[in-house]
Amino acid sequence: MTTYANSTRRYLLGLGCERGTDWNEVRMLAERAFQEVGIGSDQVLAVVSIDTRMDEPAILETATHFRLPARFFKAAALERETPRLKNPSEIVFALVGCHGVAEAAALAAAGPDSELVLPKIKSGFATAAIARVA
């Protein structure tokens, strides 16, 4: 796991989306998430998601737009975050093998002592959540 303790960037943006979602929808949802938390993309460490979205243009283009690296986690790693999720979903579990993507990815990337500062928000075809590194 990466240690972020000395970084001025202390937030992780978790994203999830359906295949083929327009990248502008994901970008606008990310901007809404930043606004709701009161941060700028310059305070974010990375865009994070599930590994089945490693090649998803909407997530990759959103990361590029904000000049952030993208990191991806296996469903099993995201499933370990289930006890900390604010919005676990049986539907998501049935589809991808974990009870949440955006919240779980943000928490997994931020580490075991992190906190979810923005539980999952949704647009038509995407989700976003933000965790803060402890």
pLDDT tens, position by position, 111-129 = 999 999 999 999 999 999 9
Class of domain 11-132 (CATH, top level): alpha beta
Q: What is the chain's pLDDT, residue by residue, as a tens digit (134 residues)?
A: 444 444 678 999 999 999 999 999 999 999 999 999 999 999 999 999 999 999 999 999 999 999 999 999 999 999 999 999 999 999 999 999 999 999 999 999 999 999 999 999 999 999 999 999 99
Q: Where are the domains of the chain?
A: 11-132
Q: In Å, what is the CA distance from 106 to each residue of 100, 112? A: 10, 11
Instruction: Classify 39 as helix, strand or coil.
Output: coil
This prediction has a pTM of 0.93
Q: Is 97 left (phi over 0), alpha (psi -120 to 50) or beta?
A: left
**Burial (CB count <10 Å: 0-12, 13-18, 19+), residue 37:** middle
How far apart are the C-alpha atoms of 57 and 35, rounded to whole Å?
Answer: 23
